[in-house]
Structure 1
Amino acid sequence: MKISVIVPIYNRLEHFRALFICLLRQNRQIDELIITDDGSSQQILDYIADLIPKASFKIKHIYQEDKGFRKTRALNNGVINSEGELLVFCDQDLIFGEEYIEYMEKNIKKGCFLLCRPISVNEKEKNTILEKIESSNKYEDLLKPLPTHYLVSVNKTLRTDRKRRILNILKLSKRGIKLVGMSYAVMKSDYLKVNGYDENYNGWGEEDDDFGNRLYVAGIKGKELKTPNMQIHLWHYSDPTKKHSMNEEYYYKRKKEIFSNKEYFCKNGCSEIRNDIRITILK
C-alpha cells in the first residue's frame, strides 16, 4: 500500500524541519511527502535543502497564494495531487517516534480513520527539543525529560475517546471520536467519498469537526491509536483568529443538514477545479 503524508504549512518552517527529520527515521518509509503551503513567506528550501538528498520518498511542494487562513483548500490541494492509498495528515508542528507510520499502516482499514493524541509542550521544552532533535538518535531521548503529567493527560483523553467510540458503535451517539486535524490517517477513497474538506470554512475553526461529522454520516468511523511513543506537538503562538471563529454560524447550519439529511458530500470540496496552485517536485 502506498502511503502519502500530507503536511499543511504556513511559515514556522523550523518546526517543519523537525517533522521532516522524524520522517527520515521511520521504520516504515513513506512513499510520498506532500507539503501543501498556504502562502508562506519563508522559503521551504532554506530549511530542508540539506535533508532532501537523504529522503527515499517523493517530495512535492504545492503552493497557494496567501489570502488568509485557507487550510481546508490547502489540504484538498494536497490530496488531489497525492499518489498514496493511505493518507497520513500531520500538522507542521508535530514530531513522532520511529514507529509512527508503521502503526498507522498496521491499524488502518477502509471505512475507518485513525486519530492520535499528541502531547503539547511549552515554549521552553519546544526550544530544547529543536536544539536536540538533529543529534538525538532516538526519539525516546526527547520524550524522557518531559513531565509525566503530559502522559497522564493524554492517556485520560484516549480513554475518553474509547468510550465515545463504544457509544457510537452501540448507536447511543451520532458521532464517536471527535476528529482533530493534528495527527490522523484515513484511506484516500474515504476522504474522496465525502469530497474532502469543505472549503467554505475560511479562517480558523470548525473545519475538522465538519469533516469528521461527514465521515461518520458516510459510515467512516474513528478509532483512537496509541503508539509506543507519544507524538509531541511543538509550542507556537496561537493564531489570532482562534479568539473568535467566524465559521460557527455556518458550522451549526451544516451540522444540522449533515445529520438530518445525511448530506455527507460537501459541494465546495476536492471536486472543485483549481488553476491557481503551483506544484514543485523537490524529489
Structure 2
Amino acid sequence: MSYPSCTLITPTYNWPEALELLLLSILNQTIIPNEVIIADDGSNENTKELIKKFQSTFPVPLIHIWHEDNKNQKPKIMNKGIAAAKYDYIIEIDGDIIMNKYFIEDHLSFAEKGIYLYGSRVNIQENFLPELFSKKNIHFNFFSKGIKKRARTIRIPYLMNFAKITTERSSKLRGCNMSFWKSDFIKINGFNENLVGWGIDDSEMIQRLHNIEINGKRLKNTAIAYHIYHKEQSRSQLDINDEILKQTTENKLTFIEKGINQYL
C-alpha cells in the first residue's frame, strides 16, 4: 500500500518530560513520518536542549519552530509550523500524547481526498505520572495500569471499513488526534489567530473545513493515543472564543483574516 507523504506536528509549552515520551513514541512507529515539527509556544531552554539531544540521532528531520512566550498563542505557532511543513498530509497531535505504534500508519491508511480524520484518546491518570516519567513508559494496552477509557485501547482497523463520513463538526473532535491535507488547511487560511487562550482553535478551523465541504471521518479502534494527565488550563477566554466559533458556524465562514497566509 502506498501512503501519502506526511508531516507530524505537535504544539508544546514547557513540558519536556511529556515531549520526551512523545518523541520516543515516534521512534517506535511502524511508519515514521517524513518529518516532525515541534511548534513551540515559547518554552524555555530545557525544551530546546531536549530537542537538540533527539535531533542528533533522529531518523527524519526534527524541526523546532519557536516564538517568544506571550501567553497562549497556539493558533499562531501552529500556523508557523504548518507553513514550514514540506509534505502534503498533516497529522496533528498534542505535546502530551504517547502514540500507539500503529498511530501514524492508521492515519495514513485512512487518508483520502476531501476528508479529514479525527480520533479519540485514552487518559493516563494523575497518580500514575511519577512511574510514567521515571520509567519513560511508552507501551500501553487494555490491561495497563494507570489508564482510563480502556475500550479505546482496542485496535481493530477492519472496522474502519464501516466508518461513516460526518458532514457536520463532531463534539468528539480533539486536536490531540487529527489529520488533514495541507492544501485544504491553506484554503481556509489555517488556524484563527484572533482566538486566544485555551480552547476552540481546532473546532473553529474544522468548522471552516466543513464550510468548504471537506468532511470528517472518525478513527474508531485505530490511531490509539494516550493523553498524559495535566491540570486544566485557564478558560478565561472561552466566552470570546465560543462567540467566534458561533459566528464561523452560523455565517458559514470559510476564510479568516489572520491566519497561515502571513507565513507562506
Cα contact 2:103–2:224 (8 A) shared by 1: no
Whole-angstrom CA distance in 1 between matches of 2:148 and 2:49: 36
Q: Any idea what the Cα deviations from partners look like across 1:26-78, whole Å, max 9, x if unmatched?
A: 11111111111111124323324433333110011111111111111111001
Which residue is equivalent to 2:82?
79
TM-superposed CA distance for 1:227, in Å, is: 4.6
Structure 2 length-normalised TM: 0.86
Distance 1:122 1:27 in 2: 26
Deviation of 1:152 after TM superposition, in Å, equals 3.6
Q: What's the CA shift string for 1:53-111, capped at 9, x where partnerless?
A: 33110011111111111111111001101101111111000001111111111110111
Rate the CA distance shift 1:12–1:220 in 2: closer, same or farther, 3 A. Answer: same
Q: Write out aligned runs for 1:92-111 (5 A).
A: 92-111=95-114
Listed one character per residue, the Cα deviations across residues 114-161 of structure 1 (whole Å, up to 9, x for unaligned) are: 111011122112332223335x6xx24x65323786124788xxxxxx
Instruction: Kindly indicate whether the alpha-carbon contact (under 8 Å) linking 1:181 and 1:208 is maintained by their aligned counterparts in 2.
Output: yes
Paired residues for 1:87-236 under 5 Å: 87-133=90-136, 139-140=139-140, 144-146=143-145, 150-152=149-151, 168=166, 174-176=168-170, 178-227=172-221, 230-236=224-230
Where in structure 1 are there 5+ consecutive unaligned residues?
A: 156-162, 275-283
The secondary structure found in structure 1 opposite 2:192 is: coil
Q: Over residues 211-248 of structure 1, what are the superposed CA-to-partner deviations in whole Å (9 max), with x where a residue is unaligned?
A: 11111111111111135573110011221236854322
State, as a whole percentage, how many aligned pairs show the same letter. 25
2:42 partner amino acid: G
Structure 2: unaligned runs, 5 residues or longer: 155-161
- Please name the residue that 2:159 is paired with: none
What's the offset of the Cα at 1:203? 1.1
What is the distance in 2 between the residues matched to 1:164 and 1:101?
Answer: 18
For residues 106 and 84 of structure 2, what CA distance do their matches in structure 1 show?
Answer: 24
One-letter code aligned to 2:257: K
Name the amino acid aligned to 1:102. E
Q: 1:132 to 1:229 in 2, by over 3 A?
A: farther
Aligned residue for 1:46?
Answer: 49
- 8 Å CA contact 2:125–2:229 kept in 1: the answer is yes
Preserved contact between residue 165 and residue 177 of structure 1 (Cα < 8 Å): no
Alignment equivalent of 2:58, drawn from 55, 60, 64: 55
* Aligned: 1:32 with 2:35: yes
- Residue 157 of structure 2 is matched in structure 1 by none
Aligned amino acid, residue 135 of structure 2:
K
Sort the Cα spacing of 1:250 and 1:217 in 2 relative to 1 into closer, same or farther, 3 A.
Answer: closer
Are the aligned partners of 1:10 and 1:38 in contact in 2 as well (CA < 8 Å)? yes
TM-score by length of 1: 0.80
Distance 2:150 2:223 in 1: 10
Aligned twin of 1:159: none
Return the offset for 1:179. 3.1
Amino acid at match of 1:7: T
